Structure 1
Amino acid sequence: MRRPVPTRLAALALIVTGAAADAAPAIHLNQIGFLPDGPKRAVVTDPATTPLPWVVLDAGGGVVATGETVVTGDDAASGDHLHQVGFDRVTAPGTYRLRVGGTTSRPFAVAADLYAPLASAALNYFYQTRAGIAIEARHAGGKQWARAAGHPNEIVPCFSGADTKGNVWPGCNYTRNVTGGWYDAGDQGKYVVNGGISLWTLLNLYELNAARPPFADGTAKLPEAGNDINDLLDEARWEMDFLLAMQAPDGARAQVPVGPQPAGQKLTMTAIDASGMAHHKVADRNWTGIPTIPAEDREDRLLYPPTTAATLNLAATAAQGARVWKTIDPAYSTRCLEAAKRAYAAALRNPRVYAPETFTGSGSYGDTALGDEFYWATAELFATTGDAQILAALKRLPPFADPVSEPGWGGVAALGTITLATVPTALAPAEQAKQRALIVAAADRYVAEAAQTGYRLPYASLKYDWGSNSAILNRAMILGLAARFTSKPAYRTAEIDAMDYVLGRNPIDQSYVSGFGWKPLRNPHHRFWAHEKDPRLPGPPPGVVSGGPNSGASADGLGARLKGCAPQRCWRDSIDAYELNEVTINWNAPLLWIAADLAMAR
């Protein structure tokens, strides 16, 4: 298996510079390097108020480019006084260093295949987080990441009894076999609302490139490799099967809270027909400790009550799956579409069933603003069926004409817009052009924001939330789509700017991706990749992205101690920093999308 370029560069860096791996140079750049035809930017921290001379050196020490820095001054997001360097004219493949004043950077590559190893590793993350199957060393990259199957034969009942607020839940008269799917994050819960956006992103990557999709059969490390199915679809189906299994059977009844409920008080329960709804999650009754190997989890596993949000996530992804698998596996496509229609009807029948924050042992993923989920599901169903009545309903929903924002698990309207803008048969050309224009307008805003920031990041806010890297990567996806629609270089440049930040062009010189760069993520908040807590357990495999800086961390003890930090510095590489250093499927999905997009030849 080919070793990623970053690993080779990290070793070379220590030879050339003699610097310790945790040193903090004044030169901040993408630690894996640059594409030959792409932008090449570095950011320099220096108090000088006048330009500084710079040179780019090749592997033999020869000068290949020179210039002066552009002084951009004080930057509130980082707390730094900054200069910028641009050396786009360095296009020949090779290994280089950047010298600014008396400081020389670590080596970096210029290579056409720069992002292919990252794309492969980001996809392999999903295999390594599979539930219900043994993770094998030959697919995982080494015996340290092999583990026994977690939660095999997972046939589980509904939660019953009292929750943390004293609400009594009656349970249900059925069980579901929910074996499989992806563990959501550092815990071992499986959530439909987080699985939905993650699955959509993988399927969109395939559908958008259907003429030449990435990860042809046998190119990824998967047990299904060689089955004549694209490997990206093999991985996506592992989650699609799980989401389908989370659908309540016909005749299901449930006692649930309907509509907003007073915080911290007893819930008012209502009996509903839950037929076709999706259970919100399957998870442990109580939080497991760190570390806990999935196969050694001894907590009760339970289905938690159905919600409208989960039901709409199922409707949307199953409708999308019906399109994707239509010619590949017609029977499976039919099954997906039937599930999507049942879920959509169930959501229309029960439009305000929200997830209560009254359970322990797993995240709540509560959401009481579901207009975006209804729009997304309606868009996917229309794109799949072409139904005139669904189109009429779609056009009545505000997101059909509203400005687009980057998607997240609690804000999925952009997913519907992307589908309408990209599925060839979805809309008439003039209407599809309007959907594309909404995406391009969002990309214009992000390009403008990049120009306002010291680190050239398409994110100008000083508010960095939990999972800020996910917001940045999802913005990069919007930028990548705008680049496809228009062929304007500014959008691809800003897409790369976002990846540059995640891979090290930031004030703490941190590659937020494990295994890539000279200072990669090492200690995510995770119950198995927990080497920091137990030396017998591994650290993360390559290709796992941290949630990144969180300027609002308060419950996290480590994060709380960083109060007053400059937003981009509010981060620590610690397993205990769950609000700063968690890893999740819906953060790795856009990393995969962007890495694969940048790896594809234009």
Structure 2
Amino acid sequence: MSHAAPPVRPAPDRTGPTDRAGRRRRRTLAAAVTAAIAAGALSAPAAMAVGHPARHGAGTAAPKADTGSPVRVNQVGYLTYGPKKGTVVTSATKPLTWTLRAADGTERAHGTTTPAGIDPSSRQNVQTFDFSAVTEAGKGYTVTIDGKKSEPFTIGDHLYGSLRGDALAYFYHNRSGIKIDADLVGREYARPAGHDKAAPHRGDTDVPCVKGVCDYRRNVSGGWYDAGDQGKYVVNGGISVAQLMSAYERTRTAKGADAAPLGDGRLRVPERGNGVPDILDEARWEMEFLLRMQVPQGKPLAGMAFHKVHDRHWTGFPTRPDQDTQQRELHKPSTAATLNLAAAAAQSARLFKPYDPDFAARCLHAARTAWAAATAHPKIFASDKDSTGGGAYGDRNVGDEFYWAAAELFITTGDHGYAKAVLDSPLHRDLDALFPRGGGMSWSSTAGLGELDLATVPNKLTAKQRAQVRAMVTKAADRYAADSAKSAYGVPYAPKDGKYEWGSNSQVLNNMVVLATAHDLTGKDRYLDAVLRGLDYVLGENPLNQSYVTGYGERNSHNQHHRFWAHQRDHRLPHPAPGSLAGGPNSGLQDPVAKKKLKGCAPAMCYTDDLMAFSTNEITINWNAPLAWIASYVDDLGNGAAARPAS
């Protein structure tokens, strides 16, 4: 998160994890706008509009977006034996004829559409079509309805391996403290190390605390830049590194999951060839940073984790990381950050044990120490007002982090104390706390991460307890699958009051992770279909006819908000690298560009591919992590893990 907004008035009472996440993001917008004005990105009059989101009541004219063809499909393609569905925006109320044509124009199938009425997410009148019976592989397919032709797409079984690789390369691109090598990413994306010891003030190798927090300095180098800014946040790093490790851990627990594409020498990391799976090499870069963020023994709050590190003031725009001259500062430890460290380090301990026992032991020691510190200091909260120079990431509800950390420590150690913390937690029996109905798992709602691992990774729960955990996962998946089936666009996301949240695409993908896990556990087609329909949505079969992933689909996002990938602002700089996920529609419109362009938008239409529309078009590590997880899962399907006749 690089930007969000402090409200003009105090925020209303929180009503759930999704609401909390969005409101925290909004609380840093004023600081972000101030920085944008200073950098010349915004005019002062435009900034004056901040804090007064557009009302969407009756009589408000919705903006007219350029959405291209009214025939909407997954612009990348469909698995040979998976569901193949699409949507057409039309004023017609009676069924229409659809025609599927190959690249040479020959007809391969036809049928009639099914009227679906007004889609509430877009306020569009839509009809749906289904060509799942077509199983002939090929490129350049199109669907034509009422004289309008869709974007081209492919049918086949090996469509998503490149997306997995690109989505994971995103993390190498955004490493701090290391040169980004042209041989791995290409010349336009190569750059010197950011915030290393050669930087002004020695970068992140010698960082002081914000005044009043500590009287010493720390080496907190390494890790990943969080988002469009150059801050590094433990609570966002925790969920991100956990999901990368989970993508690998799934290959050890799920039938048909293929570890080879994540293995040594397969990904774009400089450590390739060291005998360790490349995805774990990437995870370790972040884990080393998280370990450095732990308060050392002998200091006040020893064992806790500093909440974040970033520039003293908002980084100018655009700024390549190695050209940042600002002083970096550590912000006070928090219980949430400490528990993120405990959870991620415990998971890391069990996964690295076969490859580096010493590092695994160091991770486990850090995890146990962090757990003890958090239980001794359970109410040290990050302030929502700490938004000068970086996102606040405030979180006063840490029950979910306690649950996640206890679960990971229990899985890794089998210790009774951690088991008791899991089983005695009220969240253990609270489906909505584990898997939010109106949103999804997020940096501020992490309990579900622990539940998924308890359901899939071998541990010492009894058979009855394990069955109960798995039932919670499948109950959540049932709800997300029902949301997908109800949506004309197949999206497994039904936000409260219909309003899309900041980073809605990440919530869609995290719901897909739950669905995919349920499919791994049960083999039931409805979960698999909902995952694939969610991917259709992300890659173009949506109200905007927009693929939200750079480089994937004819109409793909490529002006996402980033300090270095800022081609729209400076043509000497690159567009975001392929495989970068845009945050997606956001009803809040918490930036001046979105407010001006999108006033009156329907929820799923509240998106614009503009560099400075950060509330809809940001990119972050915790959005690309579930994209990489899902791309890996779907590529496994195409490789035969779940091949089946079309349902």
Q: TM-score, normalised by structure 1?
A: 0.90
Contact 1:56 1:98 in 2 (8 A): yes
Deviation at 1:429, TM superposition (A): 2.4
Letter in 2 for 1:40: K
Q: Distance in 1 between matches of 2:125 and 2:192?
A: 50
SS at match of 2:248: helix
| Structure 1 stretch displaced more, 484-493 or 390-399 | 390-399
In the alignment, structure 1 residue 486 sits paired with structure 2 residue 530: no
In the alignment, structure 1 residue 418 sits paired with structure 2 residue 462: no
Determine which of 377, 390, 397 is the counterpart of 1:369: 397
Which residue in the other structure is 1:159 paired with? 209
Determine which of 339, 364, 374 is the counterpart of 2:366: 339
Letter in 2 for 1:312: L
Which residue in the other structure is 1:453 paired with? 487
Number of residue pairs the alignment of both structures matches: 552
Q: How does 1:318-329 map to 2 (within 5 A)?
A: 318-329=345-356
In the alignment, structure 1 residue 278 sits paired with structure 2 residue 314: no
Contact 2:138 2:154 in 1 (8 A): yes
CA deviations on 1:306-348 (whole Å, 9 max, x unpaired) are 0000000000000011111112211111000000000000001
Contact 2:310 2:389 in 1 (8 A): yes
Which residue in the other structure is 1:270 paired with? none
Large movers: runs of 4+ above 6 Å: none
Deviation at 1:144, TM superposition (A): 0.6
Q: Distance in 1 between matches of 2:143 and 2:209?
A: 58
Deviation at 1:76, TM superposition (A): 1.4
Deviation at 1:555, TM superposition (A): 4.4
Determine which of 354, 359, 373 is the counterpart of 2:381: 354
In the alignment, structure 1 residue 34 sits paired with structure 2 residue 78: yes
- Runs of at least 5 residues in structure 1 that lack an aligned partner in the other structure: 1-21, 162-168, 254-273
Of the two structures, which has the highest relative contact order with CA contacts closer than 8 Å and spacing of 6 or more?
Answer: 2
In the alignment, structure 1 residue 175 sits paired with structure 2 residue 220: no
Q: Distance in 1 between matches of 2:596 and 2:391?
A: 20
Which residue in the other structure is 1:397 paired with? 425
Q: Residues 476 and 160 (structure 1 numbering): CA distance in 2 closer, same or farther, change over 3 Å?
A: closer
Q: Distance in 1 between matches of 2:425 and 2:206?
A: 37
In the alignment, structure 1 residue 229 sits paired with structure 2 residue 229: no
| Structure 1 stretch displaced more, 58-67 or 491-500 | 58-67
Q: How does 1:376-387 map to 2 (within 5 A)?
A: 376-387=404-415
Letter in 2 for 1:179: S
Which residue in the other structure is 1:138 paired with? 183
Letter in 2 for 1:395: L
Which residue in the other structure is 1:317 paired with? 344
Which residue in the other structure is 2:109 paired with? 65
SS at match of 1:209: helix
Which residue in the other structure is 2:588 paired with? 552
Deviation at 1:65, TM superposition (A): 1.5
In the alignment, structure 1 residue 438 sits paired with structure 2 residue 438: no
Q: Residues 49 and 23 (structure 1 numbering): CA distance in 2 closer, same or farther, change over 3 Å?
A: closer
Deviation at 1:58, TM superposition (A): 1.8
Which residue in the other structure is 2:442 paired with? 408
Which residue in the other structure is 2:154 paired with? 109
Contact 2:75 2:540 in 1 (8 A): yes
In the alignment, structure 1 residue 291 sits paired with structure 2 residue 341: no
In the alignment, structure 1 residue 427 sits paired with structure 2 residue 469: no
Letter in 2 for 1:314: L
In the alignment, structure 1 residue 99 sits paired with structure 2 residue 144: yes
Contact 1:156 1:302 in 2 (8 A): no
Contact 1:452 1:460 in 2 (8 A): no
Determine which of 505, 524, 528 is the counterpart of 1:469: 505
Letter in 2 for 1:106: E
Q: Distance in 1 between matches of 2:571 and 2:281?
A: 33
Contact 1:195 1:239 in 2 (8 A): yes
| Structure 1 stretch displaced more, 23-32 or 331-340 | 23-32
Letter in 1 for 2:388: T
Deviation at 1:562, TM superposition (A): 2.1
Q: Distance in 2 between matches of 1:472 and 1:81?
A: 23
Contact 2:347 2:409 in 1 (8 A): yes
Which residue in the other structure is 1:49 paired with? 93
Which residue in the other structure is 1:5 paired with? none
Quote the RMSD (CA, aligned, Å): 1.3
Q: Residues 104 and 358 (structure 1 numbering): CA distance in 2 closer, same or farther, change over 3 Å?
A: closer
Letter in 2 for 1:115: Y
Determine which of 46, 64, 88 is the counterpart of 2:132: 88
Determine which of 232, 240, 256 is the counterpart of 1:198: 240
In the alignment, structure 1 residue 575 sits paired with structure 2 residue 611: yes
In the alignment, structure 1 residue 249 sits paired with structure 2 residue 283: no
Deviation at 1:398, TM superposition (A): 1.3
Contact 1:24 1:509 in 2 (8 A): yes
Q: Distance in 2 between matches of 1:439 and 1:556?
A: 39
CA deviations on 1:33-88 (whole Å, 9 max, x unpaired) are 11101110110001111000112112332222111000001111111100001000
Contact 1:158 1:304 in 2 (8 A): no
Identity %: 48
CA deviations on 1:402-459 (whole Å, 9 max, x unpaired) are 2131310000010110111111124222211211110110111011111222212111
| Structure 1 stretch displaced more, 55-64 or 379-388 | 55-64
Which residue in the other structure is 1:75 paired with? 119
Which residue in the other structure is 1:589 paired with? 625
Letter in 1 for 2:91: P
SS at match of 1:525: coil
Q: Residues 74 and 246 (structure 1 numbering): CA distance in 2 closer, same or farther, change over 3 Å?
A: same
Q: Distance in 2 between matches of 1:389 and 1:194?
A: 27
Q: How does 1:209-220 map to 2 (within 5 A)?
A: 209-210=251-252, 212-213=258-259, 214-220=261-267
Which residue in the other structure is 1:528 paired with? 564
Q: Distance in 2 between matches of 1:42 and 1:358?
A: 44
Q: Residues 251 and 556 (structure 1 numbering): CA distance in 2 closer, same or farther, change over 3 Å?
A: farther
Deviation at 1:285, TM superposition (A): 0.2
- Runs of at least 5 residues in structure 2 that lack an aligned partner in the other structure: 1-65, 198-203, 642-647
SS at match of 2:617: coil
Q: Distance in 2 between matches of 1:581 and 1:508?
A: 14
SS at match of 2:154: strand
Q: Residues 72 and 231 (structure 1 numbering): CA distance in 2 closer, same or farther, change over 3 Å?
A: same
Deviation at 1:556, TM superposition (A): 4.0
Letter in 1 for 2:406: T
Contact 2:484 2:530 in 1 (8 A): yes
Which residue in the other structure is 1:265 paired with? none
Letter in 2 for 1:416: G
